[in-house]
Amino acid sequence: MVAHHTRDMDHGSPAAADGHHAAWIRHPLDPLDAGEIRQAVEILRREQPVSPDARFVSVSLNEPPKDQVAFATPDNPAPGQATDLGPDAAVPREAFVVLLEPRQHATYEAVVSLTTGSLLSWRLVPDARAPLMAAEYAACQALIRADAQIIAGLERRGITDPAEVHVEPWSIGTFAAPEEADRRLVWTLLLHREQPDDNPYAKPIHGLHAVVDYDDMTVVRVEDLGVVPVPPGSGAYAAHRVGSLRDDLKPLEITQPEGSSFDVRGWEVRWQRWRFRVGFTPREGLVLHTVGYEDQGRVRPILWRASVAELFIPYADPQAFQGFRNAFDAGEFGLGILANSLELGCDCLGEIRYLDVDLADGNGEPYTIRQAICLHEEDAGLLWKHYDGNLGTTETRRSRRLVISFILTADNYEYAIYWYFYQDGSIEFEVKLTGIVLTTALPPGDTSEYGTLVAPQTLAAHHQHFFSMRLDMAVDGLNNTVYEVDTEAVPPGPGNRLGNAFRPVRRPLRSESEAQRVIDPSRARYWLVGNPGIRTGLGHEPAYKLVPSASALAFSHPDASANQRAKFATKHLWVTPYSPGERYPAGDYPNQHPGGAGLPDWTKADRPIENTDVVIWYTVGSHHVTRPEDWPVMPVERAGFMLKPVGFFDQNPALDVAPGSSAHC
């Protein structure tokens, strides 16, 4: 593998600056670079009559089949084990293109071979509504600002300059009028930004909405549900707008005088015993591939692929239009497309390595998000410790973790996505939610049980965030079984005279229907992913456990549209047998989809899932009853889960971590 990454390691990114790299230099799982995106679009335009109006929704890597990709190789391979990439180098590079033809109201999918320069497939996707594209936003905002009915509605609210109106196009879900339902539509949320540096969410324009045909970019209708005054507050949060700032913090600097301890080779990362590859897609953002742990000269697989496959946000307020707020941020927008460039902030601290990513714009032209992915190490507190009172000695180890992250902005909200790798073989996923809560204007003196008053006449509606984590597991190989483990109290009796006995009870989840599960903290429930074909030195089946965090599920009624469209959010756990086409839990095209696609559809077959290649879909929820303290910008809220080895190692794998050498301890 090493031999194939010969690029300048000092360059800030593995993405090619000029796009001209021979295909052989790329690993099969590397995201497309700018040159490959350009090439894919050229091939498609040459092979297929694409109209001048066509909009490129996405151009991304068409990932190769599993059997064509090798897992990571160790730094110190066992005798006889190959260090080279082997067959990987010969794997063809392919691009997957989603294209919208707005005049035809049609969405197409294409697969293009970059290796042979040919179009491999082209198909119309029946009934698909393409996601809302960044490229469409400016036209929509201009359309709304120029619309006579909107202008009249704004004047009724005392807003005379439409240029001060911030327009947010929202996916309309299933709420289009029946006669409009076959069109690709959005509805618009309007906000008043009086000064350029105002917080627009402080001034929601209540009751005035347009429904826009996003293909034709025309206003279908404007609804004015009645004037509610725009709230008076500014919602300002920028440093220069909040008055005097604290001045009593002394500097805290993170320094690593010898640099960081991780190694980035192209898109491959090595840190301590961890080996994995980084990927990035327009839809999911950061992807982890072939995550393994080097153990006695071989890399033991744990995860084949991991990503946030969907992010669904339903709101609680039943009012007209407020109840429309149901966003699928991955499938209707694209988590990767929404990624921040981290060069502009202070998002990571310490010795940082950034990766750039290349994406395609609406015309199929490549562009780069500079420093979209951040890699760095953090001190993570205590790793392990024991004080031996008899000897008067202490053994203490500090924990270090490798952090890989990206941050996306979905209109009002920020989602900061983190994967942490620990020295004890644990992997943690954490999302930090921040940004600005979505608001509604209330008449003076009013309140609502569906939200919290966060400023005068300003209601922040309650809502939920559901992350569907797609974890394509590979614990010591592809054939895995998922077990549910509950702890049971044993009834008192001859074998339990003291009544103290309790024991974990493990049962395999044998089929897809058996594997639709919810958390149960009262039973200390967790899920194990084991490899039943292997026994460790101690006789255990090597496994990783998914340690769930407490999180509420969806509160919408089972018949409600939100519930139907995001069935994944009604369970914490789903398990499916691996199938390459099953990537997105709410279906490939959730925009305006009535529901039932994705997990609820696939699992109808109730396929067996024992001792096979399994994919775990874990729902991370953040239940957000809003607080005044969330305003005007929200302190970070956290959610996540852990994957921890259970019988995967025969002892604490972090025993050989050396005592710290910090001058401070």
Shortest reach from residue 202's CB to Cu ion, in Å? 17
Please report, for residues 111, 277, 583, the alpha-carbon distance to residue 63 in angstroms, rounded to integers and kept in the order given: 11, 13, 12
Q: CA neighbours within 13 Å on the CB side: how many for 545?
A: 17
What is the CB neighbour count within 10 angstroms for residue 18?
8
- The reply to whether 462 sits near Cu ion by the rule CB under 5 A is no
Residues 6 or more apart whose CB falls under 8 angstroms from that of 512 comprise 574, 575, 576, 577, 602, 603, 605, 606, 607, 609
Q: Which of residues 36-95 bind Cu ion (CB under 5 A)?
A: none
Shortest reach from residue 227's CB to Cu ion, in Å? 28
Given a contact cutoff of 8 angstroms between Cβ atoms, the answer to whether 309 and 284 are in contact is yes
165-171 and 463-473 as β-strands: parallel, antiparallel, unpaired? unpaired
Candidates 129-137, 200-208, 539-547, 619-627 — which segment interacts with Cu ion by CB under 5 A?
619-627
Given a contact cutoff of 8 angstroms between Cβ atoms, the answer to whether 335 and 313 are in contact is no
For 309, the enclosing helix (H) or strand (E) is strand 298-314
Shortest reach from residue 536's CB to Cu ion, in Å? 42
Please report, for residues 40, 92, 364, the alpha-carbon distance to residue 113 in angstroms, rounded to integers and kept in the order given: 8, 7, 16
358 is catalytic: no
Q: Closer to Cu ion at the Cβ: 62 or 412?
A: 412
Q: Closer to Cu ion at the Cβ: 593 or 624?
A: 624
Q: Closer to Cu ion at the Cβ: 371 or 452?
A: 452
Shortest reach from residue 24's CB to Cu ion, in Å? 46
Q: Closer to Cu ion at the Cβ: 370 or 627?
A: 627
Q: Closer to Cu ion at the Cβ: 283 or 624?
A: 624
Shortest reach from residue 628's CB to Cu ion, in Å? 14
**Which residue has the CB atom at the shortest distance from Cu ion?**
624
CA–CA distance, 339 with 281 (Å, rounded to integer)? 11
Given a contact cutoff of 8 angstroms between Cβ atoms, the answer to whether 640 and 430 are in contact is yes
Please report, for residues 77, 96, 151, 294, the alpha-carbon distance to residue 286 in angstroms, rounded to integers and kept in the order given: 29, 17, 41, 23
For 644, the enclosing helix (H) or strand (E) is strand 634-646
Site string for Cu ion, 646-665 (x = CB under 5 A): --------------------
Instruction: Name the phi and psi angles at 490, rounded to 5.
Output: -90, 135
Place of tokens 């407020």: 322
Q: Closer to Cu ion at the Cβ: 167 or 460?
A: 460
Shortest reach from residue 325's CB to Cu ion, in Å? 12
Shortest reach from residue 621's CB to Cu ion, in Å? 11
388: helix, coil or strand?
Answer: strand
Shortest reach from residue 417's CB to Cu ion, in Å? 15
CA–CA distance, 234 with 241 (Å, rounded to integer)? 10
Candidates 181-189, 371-379, 564-572, 617-625 — which segment interacts with Cu ion by CB under 5 A?
617-625
Q: Of 198, 215, 329, 411, which residue is the catalytic one?
A: 329
Which tokens go with 80?
A: 């006889």
- The reply to whether 184 sits near Cu ion by the rule CB under 5 A is no
Number of residues that bind Cu ion (CB under 5 A): 1
Q: Closer to Cu ion at the Cβ: 366 or 435?
A: 435
For 599, the enclosing helix (H) or strand (E) is helix 599-602
Residues 6 or more apart whose CB falls under 8 angstroms from that of 315 comprise 322, 323, 325, 326, 438, 461, 462, 463
Residues 6 or more apart whose CB falls under 8 angstroms from that of 90 comprise none
Shortest reach from residue 626's CB to Cu ion, in Å? 7
Q: How many helices (H) and strands (E) does the chain have?
A: 5, 30
CA–CA distance, 425 with 564 (Å, rounded to integer)? 38
Candidates 75-83, 516-524, 536-544, 624-632 — which segment interacts with Cu ion by CB under 5 A?
624-632
Q: Of 293, 413, 418, 578, which residue is the catalytic one?
A: 413
Q: Closer to Cu ion at the Cβ: 329 or 588?
A: 329
Candidates 176-184, 338-346, 417-425, 623-631 — which segment interacts with Cu ion by CB under 5 A?
623-631
Amino acid code (one letter) for 244: S
Q: Closer to Cu ion at the Cβ: 5 or 624?
A: 624
Candidates 37-45, 250-258, 589-597, 616-624 — which segment interacts with Cu ion by CB under 5 A?
616-624
- The reply to whether 624 sits near Cu ion by the rule CB under 5 A is yes
315 is catalytic: no
Candidates 27-35, 74-82, 301-309, 622-630 — which segment interacts with Cu ion by CB under 5 A?
622-630
Q: Of 634, 640, 598, which is closest to residue 621 (Cα–Cα)?
A: 640
What is the CB neighbour count within 10 angstroms for residue 601?
13
Which residues are near Cu ion by CB under 5 A? 624
Which of the residues are catalytic?
329, 413
